[in-house]
């Protein structure tokens, strides 16, 4: 006689066949008893308790199960998750809710991390790991709605916890931006966000997906203009792109600081990306393919740093002529002073934008 396994139990098996579950009080997220971390139960037993006693089902997160839960606690985080987060082991939600959960297998579970709005204290997204448990399907949510999986894939590749945390932090930063995506400032804010994405190593295609997701969740109908902001930003040299300063001016230092922290950047690091590092002269002479040579003099300027410039020359003249210019300046203090104040007249070159 062929035996059949009920679908909810099959779903639990796809998560774990080992004791990695906890019984929760009926219609609640609260575990039954205080020793649930030390005494996890099997999928069979937790499902039996669900069927016979109406207990909800909890999954022990982190080290014990090898599974972590990305708890998308706001509509912005849920919308952005589809373009930022990798596909996971499972996702679930309940009807009529603009929030959700994505479960991931991880190699080494770290600590639980919660990311909150610096202005209201409201949680935007949480990475739930060791020391926590998550109510999962087929549980009944406290508001009366049944939790349901939207997908399950037990072949999902385990992720590095630190790599996943980077993406969750990014969700938090972008969700915070979306919450400030107000009419009257969206165009300029889109330019600032485009600069931020460029300087944090996002490509143009992904940046457009992110902006499109922000527009959708905020009801911004001028998507074409926001995508144009991405295109114009990515067409500019990195040193000409505003990022930190633009966002800080519009959202304030408190919010901007948290955004850059979560994006893995700081004002200092992004401003540093605006500068072109000095070229080693021996490398300059040896590089026949160099199309634009920039020699930074600002490290010797001291109080004249704001007046510093970069030299630009085509590859065909960047060899002997460059060394002649450098020797000329080194041997003539007066010429050096003239160069620092009027470089275009001293060497006859086109200077780039001042720092």
Model confidence pLDDT, tens digit, residues 153-188: 999 999 999 999 999 999 999 999 999 999 999 999
Q: Which residue has the tokens 């995508």?
A: 227
Structural domain containing residue 107: 7-167
pLDDT at 307: 34
Parts of the chain with a pLDDT under 50: 1, 266-329, 332-337, 339, 341-355
Question: Does some domain include residue 221?
Answer: yes
Q: Which of 239, 272, 305 marks a domain boundary?
A: 272
Q: Looking at the structure, do residues 205 and 291 belong to the same domain, yes or no?
A: no
Question: Does some domain include residue 353?
Answer: no
Q: Looking at the structure, do residues 74 and 186 belong to the same domain, yes or no?
A: no
Question: Does some domain include residue 173?
Answer: no
Q: Which of 237, 254, 272 marks a domain boundary?
A: 272
Q: Looking at the structure, do residues 256 and 290 belong to the same domain, yes or no?
A: no
- Number of domains composing the chain: 3
C-alpha–C-alpha distance, residues 177 and 343, integer Å: 42
Question: Does some domain include residue 2?
Answer: no
Q: Looking at the structure, do residues 45 and 163 belong to the same domain, yes or no?
A: yes
Question: Does some domain include residue 243?
Answer: yes
Strand 56-60 vs strand 67-72: parallel, antiparallel, or unpaired?
Answer: unpaired
pLDDT at 320: 40
pLDDT at 280: 42
Q: Looking at the structure, do residues 45 and 191 belong to the same domain, yes or no?
A: no
């Amino acid at each position: 006689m062929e035996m059949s396994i009920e679908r909810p139990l099959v779903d639990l098996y796809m998560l774990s066949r080992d004791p990695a579950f906890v019984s929760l009080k009926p219609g609640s997220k609260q575990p039954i008893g205080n020793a649930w971390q030390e005494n996890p139960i099997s999928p069979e037993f937790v499902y039996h308790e669900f069927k016979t006693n109406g207990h909800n089902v909890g999954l022990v997160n982190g080290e014990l199960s090898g599974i972590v839960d990305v708890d998308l606690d706001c509509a912005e985080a849920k919308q952005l998750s589809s373009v930022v987060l990798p596909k996971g082991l499972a996702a679930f939600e309940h009807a009529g809710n603009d929030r959700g959960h994505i479960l991931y297998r991880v190699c080494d579970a770290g600590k639980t991390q919660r990311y909150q709005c610096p202005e209201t204290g409201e949680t935007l997204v949480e990475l739930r790991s060791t020391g926590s448990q998550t109510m999962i399907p087929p549980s009944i949510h406290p508001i009366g709605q049944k939790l349901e999986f939207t997908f399950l894939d037990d072949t999902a590749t385990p992720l590095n916890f630190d790599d996943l945390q980077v993406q969750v932090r990014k969700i938090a930063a972008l969700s915070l931006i979306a919450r400030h995506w107000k009419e009257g400032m969206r165009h300029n804010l889109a330019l600032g966000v485009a600069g931020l994405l460029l300087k944090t190593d996002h490509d143009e295609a992904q940046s457009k997906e992110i902006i499109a997701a922000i527009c959708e969740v905020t009801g911004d109908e001028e998507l074409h203009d926001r995508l144009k902001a991405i295109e114009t930003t990515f067409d500019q040299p990195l040193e000409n792109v505003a990022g930190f300063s633009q966002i800080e001016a519009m959202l304030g230092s408190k919010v901007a600081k948290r955004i850059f922290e979560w994006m893995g950047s700081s004002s200092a690091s992004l401003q540093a990306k605006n500068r072109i590092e000095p070229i080693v002269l021996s490398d300059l002479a040896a590089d026949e393919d160099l199309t634009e040579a920039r020699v930074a003099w600002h490290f010797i300027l001291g109080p004249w740093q704001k007046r510093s410039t970069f030299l630009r020359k085509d590859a065909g003249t960047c060899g002997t002529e460059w060394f002649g210019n450098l020797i000329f300046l080194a041997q003539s203090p007066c010429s050096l002073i003239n160069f620092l104040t009027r470089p275009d007249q001293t060497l006859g070159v086109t200077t780039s934008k001042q720092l």
